[in-house]
Amino acid sequence: MSDYRFRILFVDDEEPILNALRRLMRRHDYDCWFAASGREGLAILEKNPIDLVISDMRMPEMDGAQFLSEVRKRWPFSVRFLMTGYADMSATIDALNQGGINRYVSKPWDDEALIEAIEEGLRIRKLERQKKRLIDQTREQNRELQDLNRDLEQRVHDRTRALESRTADLQKAFRQLENSYDSFVRVFSSVIASRPHLVKGRSREVADLARRIAQRLELDTARVRYIYYAALLHEVGKLSLNDDVLGRSETQLTYRDLAEYRQYPTLGEMALMPIKALRPCAELIRAHMENMDGTGYPDELAGEAIPQGARIIRVARDFVGQQTSLLRDPPVSPAEAYESMKERSGRFYDPEVLAALEPIVNQFTLEPQDDETGMMLSIPELRPGMELTRDLVSANGILLMVKGTVLNDSAIKRLTRMSWEDRRHLKVSVTVPARDVHTNEE
């Protein structure tokens, strides 16, 4: 993926314009095609996957608006720019409204402004590619889960013929099915937590706290479970964001960073919607950054229009986040976090949910981060007796070993083989026995 070169198509019936664009684009690392008419441009698109199309407005036979409208129908994921002179402004506005054009560029153009517009358009395309990759990964997980479910159904069918009570067998099968979803959610949350800049989100602590608040509000078991799952996965949309944005506190993000960052609830919803059993969780994830006064995102919902589960996750997320570097720098104590949130009661937070949190505040302890209690070691550095301080997850999301596993010779050999087969250098977070620490110091 890192070697991918974006592809750009320029369409203009004036050869001097195309020559000027050729000279400009030679200085930039893109694959470029140049066409002298709309029909020639369509022929290029039929043979090459193009990320960004820039077309002149005034062209014989097929003008730029007609050409880009056809591109939209046949290649909807291509970003489309219209290049036009000021005299064509009325036609340009019509094209923007009717042709699904992402942006127009004035002629004559400024080279730096044009390159900046191209880079902005390709950022949109890159985000769409990342979103599609995340959705494809989620669908693959869903297919694996469906295979597991089919296996469970077959096992239920075989056992019901051998057991006296069909009812008891079905109840057991349903419990197994619930456990399979629970395992899937926990592995998925481990994948999220394995990205260094998402560790500070503390999804597991947020999920545990959200569940306790939901239980104090006397919600039924099914709703509590969905709230817990949604809280575990509430940061899944951040997997498509870059480390520069994720590496900073929310209070330190620039206006441009915020526009990208605030897409993560929607991306999280899209990632989970293909999994039918997790759709209620997806709806809570989409709404968990809404404010009670309607100033939140992405839908500016207010009051009771925000699902109660989303309101609970928001309170748990911000209470934990103020005690890490996610929301406050430096972090604050539980009591200070709660007092700060009370000042925004009714504006950001549901007063009823805050009231349910209050008795828990003094009981809440944020455990040290894994990297505070353990050391990150490569496979050759591992020794028997060391204990994993966090789940070990492969590059494709498979849980290899769970937190708390004490390593022995057999486990280390297995990790060595996995590292070789995976063709990457695994790093493992472990606690080091005292005798090993003493030896290293000597």
432 vs 45: CA distance, rounded Å: 58
Radius of gyration of the chain measured on its C-alpha atoms: 27
Closest CA to 380 of 407, 415, 410: 415
188-363: CATH superfamily: Hypothetical protein af1432 (1.10.3210.10)
Q: What local confidence, expressed as pLDDT, does residue 331 receive?
A: 82
Q: What local confidence, expressed as pLDDT, does residue 86 receive?
A: 58
Q: Tokens standing for 317?
A: 């997320």
Domain 370-441 has CATH 3.90.105: yes
Sign of CA dihedral 164, 166, 168, 172: positive
pTM: 0.48
77 vs 295: CA distance, rounded Å: 31
- 3-class DSSP assignment, residue 198: helix
Residues forming beta bridges with residue 83, ordered by sequence position: 56, 105
Residues forming beta bridges with residue 266, ordered by sequence position: none
Q: Tokens standing for 293?
A: 């006064």
Mind listing the pLDDT tens digit for each residue in 307-328?
Answer: 999 999 999 999 998 888 777 7
Q: ∠ CA 78-57-62 to the nearest 5 degrees?
A: 85
433 contact partners, CB below 8 Å, separation of at least 6: 383, 385, 386
H or E element at residue 57: none
Whether the upstream peptide bond of residue 334 has omega within 30° of 0, thus cis, is no
Residues lower than pLDDT 50 in the chain: 1, 163, 166-177, 179-180, 200, 370-373, 437-442
Q: What local confidence, expressed as pLDDT, does residue 181 receive?
A: 54
CATH 3.90.105 segments of the chain: 370-441
7-109: CATH superfamily: Response regulator (3.40.50.2300)
Q: What local confidence, expressed as pLDDT, does residue 192 receive?
A: 60
**Amino acid type, 188:** F
CATH 1.10.3210.10 segments of the chain: 188-363
CATH 3.40.50.2300 segments of the chain: 7-109
SS (H, E, C) 258-293: HHHHCCHHHHHHHHHCCCHHHHHHHHHHHHCCCCCC
